Structure 1
Amino acid sequence: MDACHAIRRRRPMRVLIPRGGSWGDDVARRVTEAGFEPLILPLVQIEPAEDQQQLQAMFGHLADGRFDWLVVTSQSTVRVLPRVPASVSVAAVGNVTAAALRERGVPVAFIPTKQSAAGLVDEWPIREGRVLWPHALDAKPTIADGLRQHGMQLSEVVAYRTSPVFDSADQLVEAIETGAMPVIDADALRQQEEMQAAGQDGSEGVLTAVEPAETPIDAVLVTSGSVAKQVARLGLAPATRIIAIGEQTAEDCGRSGLQVAAIAKHPSAAGLVDALVAAA
């Protein structure tokens, strides 16, 4: 065995974490504890819905009690929600979204066993009533079509948009190779400042945008269809392990030309890392 191969065998697997903030930090910690090398590099960013007038009008109807149910299918939706009246039952697509709702003081009445849009539709508990579904601009119609088929009076509105952090594939690849990051993640920066103020090094063991990335990517943790599209732009080697957070994301990966190596049994940070360990 030559020296180059020996070095490759000794270096830990590098795992791309395409989301920042507290979630990315949590995943990075778990990846490190599993014996791998995390690289946090957000690939998508959340932007406000273009039609704010329509969004606020729908939220006004929600506050007035005109809906029986509120369906929430992402943490990004939770961030823009107003106060939810006690008369409204809330459905969350999965445990992660439900946890974000509860942190906001919003009780959750329904979580499907199969934590996906299809699972929510298949297990929907009632067959009449008024539903509001605020969602991403590029959301698939699974929820809307399925609940209407169940007899629900569904209203939907765009709550936010996702856009790529990097304008071109070349810029994205350069960020992976050199650490040239055009956007600073505010949550991660704030946490790092807090840790440094306490005399700790907030970046120890985690590669970020300010550190060079000289070794290849061995695995990517994909958390959404929008992230899958950006990962596909990287042109990663066929041997790169793609780990999907759920069945729906795995399908999105396939549509983007990515071959999935493993799917998390539970759509959470712990579930993703468990799937990574199994695939590795």
Structure 2
Amino acid sequence: MIPPGLKGWKVVITRPRAQAGSLRTLLEAQGAEVIEFPSIRVAPLDDYAAVDRAIERLGEYRWLVFTSQNGVAAFVDRLRASGRGVAELGRVRLGAIGPATALALERHGHRPAVSPDRFVAEALVEAMAREDLRGARVLLPRALDARAVLPDGLRALGALVDVVPVYRIEPEPGHSPRALRRLLDGPVDCVTFTSSSSVRNFVALLGEGGLRLPARTIVACIGPVTAATARECGLSVGVVAGAYTIPGLVDALSDRAGRRVPRGAAR
């Protein structure tokens, strides 16, 4: 029997508290001691007028494209708030970035027509390039202030893209540089990041406290976009998941620990 690959490791999770459960479960299955220190949270918008107007015209769109589970949840909430139901999703073709976003749609009874495995906007643009998007209206509900890669890429393919915010990401309240200092005073082996915003807000706390990650602490990122942000913020990245998913991140960290656990056991 192969022992847990992360036994004795202390691993910090920085993703939103409400979404930390799956990562915690997989890390603990590998033997890690997990510390939740969310650097961000998903927050509602002050004004939903733009997305509500888009929902009223949903039949005018050929495609509805989601970039995250949060986007699916927030859009479905607005559908219901407007007196509509998830059946409305069947009026358009659906696109989704990554398996988790696709699964969120499937839980509402709708399978996306396009869903690349890689959880990056560039992968969805590549997949959508196989479709005829010339003149097609595309609705893109997503986080406020998200990257321009996806809408710009779809427009380059000839699509008419409407971007509407449905939620925002903000720093997790209640954390202080003092709390972070106490966390880092312990023997932390790894800090995990699953989004660029989680990196930026964690590094901002470091800066406020005049702190640096200990040299022995490994920075582990869910994919290349998050890793690039970490490097831009001055962090040394030790692990980047090959599969840009939560299980992929745990697999990559287990590899880094030097004891590969069979893929099935990590999922």
Give the TM-score taking structure 2 as reference length.
0.79
Mapped pair 1:12 → 2:15: no
Q: Give CA-to-partner distance per residue, 1:19-76, whole Å, 9 cap, x none.
A: 35564222222212212211122221111123211221122222xx111101100111
2:95–2:114 Cα contact (<8 Å) kept: yes
Q: Which among 96, 99, 105 is matched to residue 100 of structure 2?
A: 96
Tell me the residue number matched to 2:164: 157
Q: Which among 71, 86, 101 is matched to residue 77 of structure 1?
A: 71
Q: How far apart, CA to CA, are the structure 2 residues paired with 1:158 and 1:172?
A: 32
2:16–2:42 Cα contact (<8 Å) kept: no
Mapped pair 1:218 → 2:189: yes
Q: Which among 239, 261, 269 is matched to residue 246 of structure 2?
A: 269
CA positional deviation for 1:172: 4.8
Aligned-partner SS, 2:23: helix
Tell me the residue number matched to 2:124: 120
Look up the equivalent residue of 1:155 and give its one-letter code: D
RMSD of aligned residue pairs (Cα, Å): 2.1
Tell me the residue number matched to 1:31: 27
2:221–2:241 Cα contact (<8 Å) kept: yes
Look up the equivalent residue of 2:198 and give its one-letter code: V
Tell me the residue number matched to 1:138: 145
The percent identity for this pair of structures is 31
Q: Which residues in structure 2 correspond to 1:161-200 (within 5 Å)?
A: 161-166=168-173, 170-173=177-180, 176=183
- Distance change in 2, residues 1:44/1:175 (3 Å): farther
Look up the equivalent residue of 1:78 and give its one-letter code: V
Q: Which residues in structure 2 correspond to 1:229-248 (within 5 Å)?
A: 229-232=200-203, 233-234=205-206, 235-248=212-225
1:24–1:40 Cα contact (<8 Å) kept: yes
Q: How far apart, CA to CA, are the structure 1 residues paired with 2:150 and 2:222?
A: 19
Structure 1: 5+ residue stretches without partners: 1-10, 178-213
CA positional deviation for 1:266: 1.9
Aligned-partner SS, 2:151: helix
CA positional deviation for 1:265: 2.0
1:131–1:152 Cα contact (<8 Å) kept: yes
1:244–1:272 Cα contact (<8 Å) kept: yes
Look up the equivalent residue of 2:70 and give its one-letter code: S
Q: How far apart, CA to CA, are the structure 2 residues paired with 1:13 and 1:168?
A: 23
2:63–2:138 Cα contact (<8 Å) kept: yes
More displaced stretch, 131-140 vs 245-254: 245-254
CA positional deviation for 1:16: 0.4
- Distance change in 2, residues 1:85/1:25 (3 Å): closer
Tell me the residue number matched to 1:192: none
Q: How far apart, CA to CA, are the structure 2 residues paired with 1:44 and 1:175?
A: 19
Look up the equivalent residue of 1:97 and give its one-letter code: T
Look up the equivalent residue of 2:194 and give its one-letter code: T
CA positional deviation for 1:122: 2.2
Tell me the residue number matched to 1:5: none
Aligned-partner SS, 1:86: helix
1:96–1:267 Cα contact (<8 Å) kept: no
1:264–1:275 Cα contact (<8 Å) kept: yes
